[in-house]
Amino acid sequence: MLSCTIDEKEGRYIVVTDIPVAFLHVDMEESIGTIAKLIIKFEPILYRKHIWYNQKGKSIIYIQLKKALYGTQQAAFLFWRLLSSTLQAWVLKINEYDHCVANKLIEGNNVL
């Protein structure tokens, strides 16, 4: 609410958008670990040779994703990094106080 109040006081125009399947635009950089039992249920013969066991005997399979997967720890960060670099390429400036906000002057008006 505070941000909206400031925007109104400063006469800013606000633009909000949703990017469908946003995480599919981002390439993963590291391998992601997952529990092997779920994978083995679907294709036991195919994946059994890729199973590792931790010190407690828990089975784990490691996979490498080509695209970001919703719910992984790094997916949101990777998408934010891609989006912010794209916005900067479009001559928007990332707000130094709130990195989820980008500013741009259009015809002398500050657009959020």
Q: What pLDDT is attached to residue 110? A: 65
- What residues does 13 pair with on adjacent strands? 111
State yes or no: pLDDT of 111 exceeds 80: no
Q: What is the pLDDT of residues 32-84, one digit of tens each?
A: 555 556 767 777 788 777 777 778 877 777 777 777 777 676 778 888 888 88
Among 88, 70, 83, CA closest to 28: 70
Q: What pLDDT is attached to residue 89? A: 92
Half-sphere exposure (Cβ direction) of 98: Cα atoms closer than 13 Å: 7
**DSSP state string for 58-91:** -EEEEE--SB--TTSTTHHHHHHHHHHHHHHHTT
State yes or no: pLDDT of 11 exceeds 70: yes
Residues 59 and 35: beta-carbon distance below 8 Å: yes
Tell me the whole-structure pTM to 2 decimals. Answer: 0.54
**Chain position carrying tokens 């109040």:** 5
Above pLDDT 90, what percent of the chain?
A: 3
Map residue 103 onto helix, strand or coil. Answer: strand
